[in-house]
Amino acid sequence: MIIETYSPEETFEVGKKIGEKAVPGGIYTLNGDLGTGKTVFTQGVAAGLGIREPVNSPTFTIVQEYRDGRLPLYHFDVYRIEEPEEMEEIGYDDYFFGEGICLIEWADRIRELIPRDHVDITIQKDLSRGMDYRRIEMIG
Ligand code: ADP
Ligand code: MG
């Protein structure tokens, strides 16, 4: 499925619908260059889950947990991961195979660790369509 958005608010709304429909154990991988909107999308998912805490990129930790919604949200940013062992250290499988929702920014960096059953989301710009245009492709 491909969705085109023309503002951060629209991308937020796409994420929000995902959050509203999400079921326990859902895994969503988010790929796309820096500044495409992976975190904006995640903020929408969090809103859809009823999370009120502010959600930002987990810059200094690999994973940030949000527990005040309908389901726990585990927000990963694996941009700085160099080796899969770093994921072992944080006990990633407890999150991936738990009862919450996992959203993983830069998931391509740990492709081999991602369970087969997941939704793959790629966000791309196309400057010929304007600065705020985003193409969001969801597979799975
Ligand atoms: P990432 O997490 O992919 O690095 P962010 O979500 O942190 O990106 O930032 C995306 C930036 O792009 C924000 O400043 C946002 O306001 C801007 N933006 C402009 N248009 C859009 C859009 N259609 N969807 C999402 N973000 C957009
Ligand atoms: Mg981000």
Closest among 31, 105, 103, 47 to 73, alpha carbons compared: 103
What is the per-residue pLDDT for 74? 97
What is the per-residue pLDDT for 83? 85
What is the per-residue pLDDT for 18? 97
- Boundaries of domain holding 123: 2-139
Q: Is 75 in the pocket of ligand 1 (CB under 6 A)?
A: no
What is the per-residue pLDDT for 98? 94
pLDDT in tens, 99-137: 999 999 999 999 999 999 999 999 999 999 999 999 999
Work out how many domains the chain is built from and give that number: 1
Say which CATH number the domain at 44 has: 3.40.50.300
pTM: 0.95
pLDDT in tens, 79-107: 989 888 899 999 999 999 999 999 999 99
DSSP letter, residue 27:
E
Distance from the alpha carbon of residue 39 to the mean position of ligand 2, in angstroms: 4
pLDDT in tens, 29-77: 999 999 999 999 999 999 999 999 999 876 678 999 999 999 999 999 9
Q: Are 32 and 64 in contact (CB under 8 A)?
A: no
β-pair type (27-31, 73-77): unpaired
pLDDT in tens, 6-17: 999 999 999 999
48, burial (CB in 10 Å: exposed 0-12, middle 13-18, buried 19+):
buried
In a mutational test of the pocket of ligand 1, which residue from 9, 36, 76 has the highest number of ligand atoms less than 8 Å from its CB? 36
